[in-house]
């Protein structure tokens, strides 16, 4: 696969010029945020690129397993910022992410989809952890907003003898559905509107399109299952905080 020079890579930042200029001209106030996000993405990806290169050279399962654990910890911490209204938001997010990751890797290895090697496990895990992180953040945010909107309805159900779980059924249902919207909509148009990153990268690297599609399907299906699983776990672990914290 052809290498890209650093000069060419930096030239990619030219794509940011138009939205930055529009933001400045229209006084939208997002120029600094866009620039900071772009620089952070550049620096973080370059650093992780060198780290992964080092990990590949050692070929030590324990090492890249620790890297995945660090990724989960960072993702859980990021989610916890959205879950500030809930008890043990970090622990809840970490539990959901770790459970989904362990199940996913077990399926990949047991069914001989990939070997337990950094070359496969690290990038595939990164994709599903990132997607699950977004879903968990959406759950925390939506759960709080749905609770504020339906608080009186929940109180009415409790007064009629419903359990906390029964009174929260509609709250949980609406939250999980909302958290899955991005993934559901993406799956509806995959292959028609968008060609996913892993598939595109594999084709560019010279793999057969059919093989690339098979690997992408593994990622898409695992990713969707992970997202749904983490959303459900977080929702069921977090909703009880409304009752324990006496938020009524």
What span, in angstroms and rounded, lies between the C-alpha atoms of 28 and 15?
Answer: 18
Per-position pLDDT tens, the chain of length 248: 567 777 777 777 777 778 888 888 887 788 888 888 888 888 888 888 888 788 777 778 888 899 899 999 999 999 998 888 788 999 999 999 999 999 999 999 999 988 898 888 988 899 899 999 999 999 999 998 888 888 888 888 888 888 888 998 898 999 999 989 888 888 887 776 666 677 777 777 777 888 888 888 888 889 899 999 999 999 999 988 888 765 55
pTM: 0.79
What span, in angstroms and rounded, lies between the C-alpha atoms of 240 and 143?
Answer: 11
Token pair for residue 122? Answer: 């690290």
Contact between 183 and 194 (Cβ < 8 Å): no
Token pair for residue 123? Answer: 């990038």
What span, in angstroms and rounded, lies between the C-alpha atoms of 135 and 196?
Answer: 19
Contacts with 3 (C-beta within 8 Å, 6 or more apart), sequence order:
none
SS3 65: helix
Q: Which of 70, 67, 133 is nearest to 100 (CA)?
A: 133
- DSSP 8-class letter at 13: G
Using left for φ > 0, alpha for ψ between -120 and 50, and beta otherwise, residue 194 falls in beta
What span, in angstroms and rounded, lies between the C-alpha atoms of 43 and 35?
Answer: 12
Integer-rounded Cα Rg, in Å, for the chain is: 21
């Amino acid at each position: 696969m052809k290498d890209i020079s650093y000069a060419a890579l930096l030239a990619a930042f030219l794509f940011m010029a138009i939205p930055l200029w529009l933001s400045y001209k229209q006084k939208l106030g997002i120029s600094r945020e866009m620039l900071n996000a772009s620089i952070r993405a550049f620096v973080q990806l370059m650093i992780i690129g060198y780290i992964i290169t080092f990990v590949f050279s050692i070929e030590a399962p324990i090492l890249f397993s620790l890297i995945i654990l660090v990724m989960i910890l960072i993702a859980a911490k990021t989610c916890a910022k959205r879950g500030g209204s809930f008890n043990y938001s970090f622990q809840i997010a970490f539990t959901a992410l770790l459970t989904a990751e362990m199940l996913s890797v077990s399926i990949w290895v047991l069914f001989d989809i990939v070997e337990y090697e950094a070359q496969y496990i690290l990038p595939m895990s990164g994709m599903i952890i990132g997607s699950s992180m977004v879903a968990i953040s959406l759950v925390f945010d939506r759960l709080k907003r749905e609770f504020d909107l339906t608080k009186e309805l929940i109180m009415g159900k409790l007064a009629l003898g419903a359990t906390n779980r029964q009174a929260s059924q509609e709250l949980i249902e609406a939250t999980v559905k909302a958290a899955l919207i991005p993934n559901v909509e993406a799956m509806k148009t995959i292959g028609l509107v968008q060609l996913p990153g892993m598939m595109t990268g594999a084709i560019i690297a010279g793999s057969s399109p059919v093989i690339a599609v098979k690997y992408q399907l593994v990622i898409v299906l695992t990713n969707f299952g992970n997202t749904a699983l983490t959303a459900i776990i977080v929702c069921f672990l977090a909703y009880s905080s409304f009752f324990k914290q006496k938020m009524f």
